[in-house]
Amino acid sequence: MKKKPNKKKLPKPKQETKADAGTNDIIRLNKYIASAGVCSRREADKLIEDGKVQVNGNIVTSLGIKVKESDNVVVDGKQINPEKHIYVLLNKPKNTISTTSDEKDRQTVIDLIEDATGRRVYPVGRLDRNTTGLILLTNDGELAHRLMHPSYKVRKVYQVETPHILTDEQLTALRQGVELEDGPARAYKVDRHPVLANAIRMSIIEGRNHQVKRMIEAIGSEVINLKRIIYAGLTIDGLRTGRWRYLNRKEVLEMRQLVKLLDKKTLKL
Ligand code: URA
């Protein structure tokens, strides 16, 4: 009979620091090793079974073991570091491109944050050059992919200013759906702005190109100012235009839960 491997008890994980915020998810050891670029997950399983992996100083041979980013993992005598994920929320100003580079050398969202973060991050989705407001940037490709995928139905809320006050009929048309050249589109929710008479708050699920502008044009008006105020449950409140901040741990966990990268039971706050 095959001898059962010794399950060694792992020491208590280190206390989280502020810099760890949002990055301390528990992941399987093979995934941790693979994300450090050492080898594939399958090859990592082999290294674990062969007793070549240590976690916090203990050899582990059990394939089911889970670790935290803050744990010390040594493979074949070398300490490894998986890519640390960072999550940045930027209040994008006007006249800024939301791609990573621009052939005309115009200011990009990356220019606004990169020197400060010191890491390569990518915008999750796009905002038009003159749209202001919330844009998320991260190096967490799996999360970004899910946030942008229509099947996860991530909600985006825009504050839309028009030259004239929209009529009740126009708002109803947005709720019921308008015809765009690439198919029908409808707002998930539309409310009048509590203060600005010529503005509405419109919530959409899809993220088609220039979708808000095209929907407003389809009801016979136009957008004079567009600002994204909510994305995937995150709000732009308290962040001045052009400024950015890191997401906190609670925000990252909630977002991961939203796109089913974390189940409800795992959400310990
Ligand atoms: N819809 C638009 O029309 N523009 C944006 O920037 C975002 C959504």
- pLDDT tens for each residue of 142-154: 899 999 999 999 9
Instruction: Please tell me the predicted confidence (pLDDT) of residue 263.
Output: 60
State which of 96, 210, 225 you would mutate to test the pocket of ligand 1, scoring each by most atoms of that ligand within 8 A of its C-beta.
Answer: 210
Structure tokens at 152: 């996860």
- pLDDT tens for each residue of 68-84: 878 899 998 888 877 77
Residue 232, pLDDT above cutoff 70: yes
> Average pLDDT, stretch 236-256?
93
In percent, how much of the chain has pLDDT > 90?
Answer: 61
CATH code of the region 87-151+233-258:
3.30.70.580
Which residue's CA is the closest to the ligand 1 atom numbered 3?
Answer: 210
Alpha helix ranges (H) inside the chain: 29-35, 41-49, 109-117, 141-148, 168-176, 211-218, 249-258
Q: How many angstroms is it from 194 CA to the middle of ligand 1?
A: 22
Catalytic residue among 50, 76, 128, 140: 128
Domain boundaries, the chain: 14-80, 87-151+233-258, 155-231
Determine whether the shortest distance from the Cβ of 212 to ligand 1 is under 6 A. yes
Which of the residue ranges 31-40, 97-106, 199-208, 251-260 would you say has the lowest mean pLDDT? 31-40
Residue 210, pLDDT above cutoff 80: yes
State which of 211, 229, 236 you would mutate to test the pocket of ligand 1, scoring each by most atoms of that ligand within 8 A of its C-beta.
Answer: 211
Q: How many angstroms is it from 227 CA to the middle of ligand 1?
A: 9
Determine whether the shortest distance from the Cβ of 47 to ligand 1 is under 6 A. no
In percent, how much of the chain has pLDDT > 70?
Answer: 86
CATH code of the region 155-231:
3.30.70.1560
Determine whether the shortest distance from the Cβ of 131 to ligand 1 is under 6 A. yes
Residue 7, pLDDT above cutoff 50: no
> Average pLDDT, stretch 222-228?
98
CA distances from 3 to 7, 189, 196 (A): 12, 60, 72
Residue 8, pLDDT above cutoff 50: no
Q: How many angstroms is it from 213 CA to the middle of ligand 1?
A: 6
CA angle (212, 218, 220) in 5-degree steps: 110
Beta-carbon contacts of residue 112 (< 8 Å; ≥ 6 apart): 90, 92, 93, 96, 242, 244
Determine contact, residues 136/244, Cβ cutoff 8 Å. Answer: no
Residue 171, pLDDT above cutoff 70: yes
Q: How many angstroms is it from 207 CA to the middle of ligand 1?
A: 8
Max mean pLDDT among 17-26, 229-238, 252-261 falls in 229-238
Determine whether the shortest distance from the Cβ of 94 to ligand 1 is under 6 A. no
Beta-carbon contacts of residue 256 (< 8 Å; ≥ 6 apart): 25, 143, 262
Of residues 3 and 28, more confidence is placed in: 28
Instruction: Please tell me the predicted confidence (pLDDT) of residue 34.
Output: 72
Residue 1, pLDDT above cutoff 80: no
Instruction: Please tell me the predicted confidence (pLDDT) of residue 16.
Output: 32
Max mean pLDDT among 82-86, 104-108, 208-212 falls in 208-212
Beta-carbon contacts of residue 182 (< 8 Å; ≥ 6 apart): 208
Give yes or no: 128 in active site. yes
Instruction: Please tell me the predicted confidence (pLDDT) of residue 21.
Output: 37
Determine whether the shortest distance from the Cβ of 170 to ligand 1 is under 6 A. no
- pLDDT tens for each residue of 113-151: 876 777 788 999 999 999 999 999 998 888 999 999 999
* Residue 24 confidence class, pLDDT cut points 50, 70, 90: low
Determine whether the shortest distance from the Cβ of 127 to ligand 1 is under 6 A. yes
Q: Which CATH number fits domain 14-80: 3.80.30.20, 3.65.10.10, 3.10.290.10, 3.30.200.20?
A: 3.10.290.10
* Residue 156 confidence class, pLDDT cut points 50, 70, 90: very high
**Are domains 14-80 and 155-231 of this chain identical in fold?**
no
Q: How many angstroms is it from 259 CA to the middle of ligand 1?
A: 22
Instruction: Please tell me the predicted confidence (pLDDT) of residue 37.
Output: 58
CA angle (265, 266, 269) in 5-degree steps: 100
Gap between the Cα atoms of 150 and 174, Å rounded: 19
Determine whether the shortest distance from the Cβ of 129 to ligand 1 is under 6 A. no
> Average pLDDT, stretch 21-49?
76
